[in-house]
Chain A
Amino acid sequence: MNFLSKITPRIVAKSPWLYRINAGSCNGCDVELATTACIPRYDVERLGCQYCGSPKHADIVLITGPLTARVKDKMLRLYDEIPDPKVTVAVGVCPISGGVFRESYAIEGPIDRYLPVDVNVPGCPPRPQAIIEGIAQAIAIWRARIGEAA
């Protein structure tokens, strides 16, 4: 069992499935996320990543947007549907600090007020390589987390 608990996190960390939540983003970061996934130049599938359509399949959740008041409850409900262990990555300055929308009446963010964020990838939007860098950090955190759980 000890052997297993050592070897599985390493294998499991090779299969992080990504899920995106748009918490009121302007779509800039979402375009960059789509670019990261779809364009051969970045090829995030090389890390074993795969975008999945359902929150229940996800391991790493990428959140974009400043968490608008309207989307807050829905977003938190969606977040709860992702099975543990999960890793949260805030993509773009909006979920991290509010960015240009900070202190707006329509914004409930920053997002770490409501859920535990693990990795921040600032930028407006961050370039795909920066997102991949953030995902790589998230994978490292995820591996450690599985090791703890096992």
Chain B
Amino acid sequence: MTDTFSLLFAVLIFPGGLFVIALGLALKGVERRAIARLQRRIGPPLAQPVFDMIKLMQKRTLIPDTANALVFLAAPLLAVASMAVAAALIPVPGLYAPDPRLGDLIVLFYLITVPAVALMLAGSSSGSPFGAIGFSREMAIMLAYEGPILLAITAVALHAGAEMGQPIALSLSEIVAWQRAHGAFLLDPWMWPAFVTYLTFIPANLGIVPFDIPEAESEILEGPLVEYSGPPLGLMKLASAMKAVVVLGLGVALFFPAGPEGLAGLVLFALKCLGLVLAVAVLKAAVGRMRIDQAVVFYLKWPEALGLCGLALAIWHA
């Protein structure tokens, strides 16, 4: 009974659910503000994403006649739920260790791709040509970035496994524990290619310029989200805010989980996220959007090569 309860608590409140939502919306607010400052504007209040969310929850839900209503409404729920569970898989040193029954690194990797799949479902089920274009773009870019990220994660798992005397380490808790005891992978030059690969994966997965091609609002009107309104749209935006925290959290857990335990560690984690978000803001303010073919070629060329390089290094080093 307590077992079920603690699992539910992990998924719904901390570190999944509420905590991720709060942190994700706060990061989004900071990002919008930072972009405004970079563009010499004042920008919205920091709590703007929260206001937006409350507003969207109040609005009417429209379901187009051409849509498959079931899939159309299920996709946002799927995205949010997958992110809540994914967050519950990331260990918080001193405060929370994920239940091994929830899954390991492989499950986490799959869960992180679910919002992209939900976005594709949303686009294809909405019955709008914009949604369909967004769907095909999301599919293309996802196929391009999944390769490098898988290589990077495998490299970390192999490296950590070799250090721990196993063939491969798939438990994120163990990887984090080992790094906290013996030094973070970020400080290990052997892991740098994998780290850089992970960094390049972040903008594509989070739909950040120059890789926000599937949701390009100025050309295909936010693509898959074009037919959404009200609460489902809010859930979609929520899922993308949560995804930012999960992806950054996974990056921190894989490469740089150093720092104090407990609440102070949590604050440090938020600060690490903040640093990355500020970098993202600079990226957003500085570059324009790529074309889908350019983005796919980019991912299949550089991050893929780097990822392979990182994997080779990890195998050789082992």
Contacts and interface: CB of A to CB of B under 8 A. Distances in A.
Indicate yes or no for A touching B, C-beta below 8 A: yes
Interface string A53-91: 110110100000000000000000000010110000000
B29 to A, nearest CB: 11
Contacts of B222: 52-54, 57
B41 interface: yes
Contacts of A146: 58
Contacts of A53: 217-218, 220-222, 226
B300 to A, nearest CB: 29
Interface residues on A, range: 20 to 34
Contacts of B45: 14, 48
B200 interface: no
A140 interface: no
Interface in B36-59: 36, 39-45, 48, 51-52, 54-55, 58-59
Given A40-B40, A45-B41, A46-B44, A83 B51 contact: no
Interface residues of B, number: 31
B233 A57 contact: yes
Contacts, number: 79
Contacts of B32: 45
Contacts of B40: 40
Nearest to B48: A48
B61 to A, nearest CB: 8
B54 A48 contact: no
Given A54-B222, A56-B229, A15 B62 contact: no
Dominant secondary structure of chain B at its interface with chain A? loop
A45 B43 contact: yes
A81 B41 contact: no
A43 B33 CA distance: 12
A45 B35 CA distance: 11
A50 B59 CA distance: 16
B54 A40 contact: no
Most buried by B among A45, A52, A53, A56: A56
Interface of A: 8, 11-12, 14-15, 17, 40, 43, 45-46, 48, 50, 52-54, 56-57, 59, 81, 83-84, 146
11 contacts: A12-B55, A40-B40, A40-B41, A43-B42, A48-B44, A50-B52, A52-B222, A54-B225, A57-B229, A59-B55, A83-B230
